[in-house]
Amino acid sequence: MNQRHRLPIATGNASGKKPDNHRPMAWVLVQKYGVLGALQLLWTDVVWDFIHRVDTAKPVSNSVLFNADDAKEQNRYVASTFRAVHSALTHLQPTVNFTEANFVDIGSGKGKALIAACRFPFHTVTGYEVSEVLHEIANSNLNTLGLQHRASSRLLNAAHIDIQEADLVFYLFNPFTGHTLNQCLQRIAEASGTKKRYVIYVNPTEDAVYRQYFTLIGEQVFQPGDVEVNFYETRPG
Ligand SMILES: C[S@@+](CC[C@H](N)C(=O)[O-])C[C@H]1O[C@@H](n2cnc3c(N)ncnc32)[C@H](O)[C@@H]1O
């Protein structure tokens, strides 16, 4: 790892679980956060949307977003919680100089993680999203919040992502699997060169695939909701 801090590796959290594309979200939330936690989340994330006149929290099912073939590899839209993004970035902050780094959310949906990342001093904040509907909602959200000069959503299948020199922090909330995942991770790994890049992987159901491309440097479980997050760094080119 570089000149800065090495992240602690806690207990293993790659549980072999599958991405959850089907269960009703309200049920998932109550199971994960408990009734009180779900109510809290309602306040910090759902009412927040209402107060700020944006649309980030409401999930969108695969059948609405993708045709049946694409939906085999692409996971539905479920937003990160503000707390989860905040915890993950706070955890990584001692390791990376954020002011010189671009934050990149791969599979950025309605832009929730972009909004959360704007609270940190990143050089730029960019999301790549394959669904036109979600991409447009994301940019509309950023405009409404006055964040359009700090952050943007780009419409792109992440299998074809071009990595910029300063793209140093990648955030993936389990957006896809299969070939798309391999192509995307390979592009990040190959872009590495002499620069170290960091990957934050939320709900790491495919940790084994990520480890083929990157070195695992930390595993954390953040509260509330036991949110499992793995941290990786690229290997020297
Ligand atoms: C679980 S959501 C995460 C949303 C956002 N990153 C967040 O944390 O709030 C996964 C997102 O990945 C998007 N996605 C799926 N396949 C993709 C692909 N091939 N390229 C880009 N985005 C994709 C989905 O449309 C969805 O918005």
> pLDDT of 145-197, one tens digit each?
999 999 999 999 999 999 999 999 999 999 999 999 999 999 999 996 778 99
Cβ–ligand 1 distance for 127 under 6 Å, the answer: no
Pick from 46, 64, 131, 222 the residue to mutate for probing ligand 1's pocket: most ligand atoms within 8 Å of its CB.
Answer: 131
CB 112 within 8 Å of CB 214? no
Sole residue written with tokens 């009703």? 24
Cβ–ligand 1 distance for 65 under 6 Å, the answer: yes
Render the burial of 95-130: b for 16+ CB within 10 Å, e for the rest.
bbebeebbbbbbbbbbbbbbbbbbebebeebbbbbb
Instruction: Please give the pLDDT value at position 3.
Output: 40
Write the DSSP symbol of residue 188. Answer: H
Cβ–ligand 1 distance for 157 under 6 Å, the answer: yes
* 77 Cα–ligand 1 center, Å: 6
Residue 107 has pLDDT above 80, yes or no: yes
Cβ–ligand 1 distance for 141 under 6 Å, the answer: no
CB 170 within 8 Å of CB 184? no
* pTM for the model: 0.90
Helical residues (DSSP H) of the chain, grouped into ranges: 25-41, 48-52, 62-65, 82-92, 112-117, 132-144, 178-190, 207-213
